[in-house]
Amino acid sequence: MARAPLILVTPCQQNKGAEFADASLSLSNRYTQAIAQHGGLPLVLPLTATRQDVAEYVRRAEGVLLTGGEDVEPQHYTAALAPELAEKMGPTEPARDALELALVEETFRQRKPILCICRGHQVLNVALGGTLIVDIPTQIKSALRHKQMERKMEPVHDIAIEADSQLATLLGATRIGVNSTHHQAVERIAASLRITARTDDGVVEAMELRDKSALPFLQSVQFHPERLYDRYPPFAALFREFIAACATD
């Protein structure tokens, strides 16, 4: 029987956890279930990991999953925010930002497959030199309603997918409905990435590498396929292909 590839999964930080109200890790089980059900062995990373630890984790693993969560600190992609945008910032996670930025760097250095979801999609763009929209309703006129937490398990708007993209091949479509639970988004895209899907209001919903030989696999999506794959079969292909790319033995 083939060995299940080890997949590093990034968590959020909860300020007061169940044990002694200590700062704790927090992660939806949907991510680890999606990895496990498609043949991977998920390992949740500690936010206390040092830069040296991150390199060793990536060395021992076969792939990396960057998950959803709070806003990325603006200092990582802009010199200053206008007051009206600063007011729209949600909670941030400085320790997580540091961990994930280092994790992206190591993933590229060691050439491992990576799947990025929601916040992870935004972190990837920032790590590679791109910028973010701080608040969609403030910065995009006539924007769709992108933050629909009450409908997080179902499609709420369509995305248009580039026909020549890997995402279109995986999903078997050039237009598909997705869920949406975010208020930030990719703005200026990193030079090494290409946009492969947008919503009708122009928000970037998916990215992949311009040079696909740079990594064995990279898919970056703004929506949450881990909340869709078990009821909307096309989205299972994202996890299936990711785990297949990680299964080197």
- Return the H-helix or E-strand segment holding 240: helix 236-246
Instruction: Using only the alpha carbons of the chain, give its radius of gyration.
Output: 17
* Residue whose C-alpha is closest to residue 44's, from 109, 2, 99, 92: 99
Take residue 248 and report the two structure tokens written for it.
Answer: 């080197």
DSSP 33-82: HHHHHTT-EEEEPPTT--HHHHHHHHHH-SEEEE---SBPPGGGT-S---
**Which residue of the set 157, 226, 241, 246 is catalytic?**
226
**Which residue of the set 146, 208, 224, 241 is catalytic?**
224
116: β partners: 66, 220
DSSP 69-122: -SBPPGGGT-S---HHHHTT---B-HHHHHHHHHHHHHHHHHT--EEEETHHHH
Take residue 151 and report the two structure tokens written for it.
Answer: 């409908």
Let me know if 226 is a catalytic residue.
Answer: yes
Take residue 237 and report the two structure tokens written for it.
Answer: 């292909």
Within 10 angstroms of residue 181's Cβ, the number of other Cβ atoms is: 18
**Which residue of the set 118, 146, 241, 246 is catalytic?**
118
CA–CA dist 207, 221 (Å, integer): 7
Let me know if 224 is a catalytic residue.
Answer: yes
Let me know if 118 is a catalytic residue.
Answer: yes
Q: Which residues are catalytic?
A: 118, 224, 226
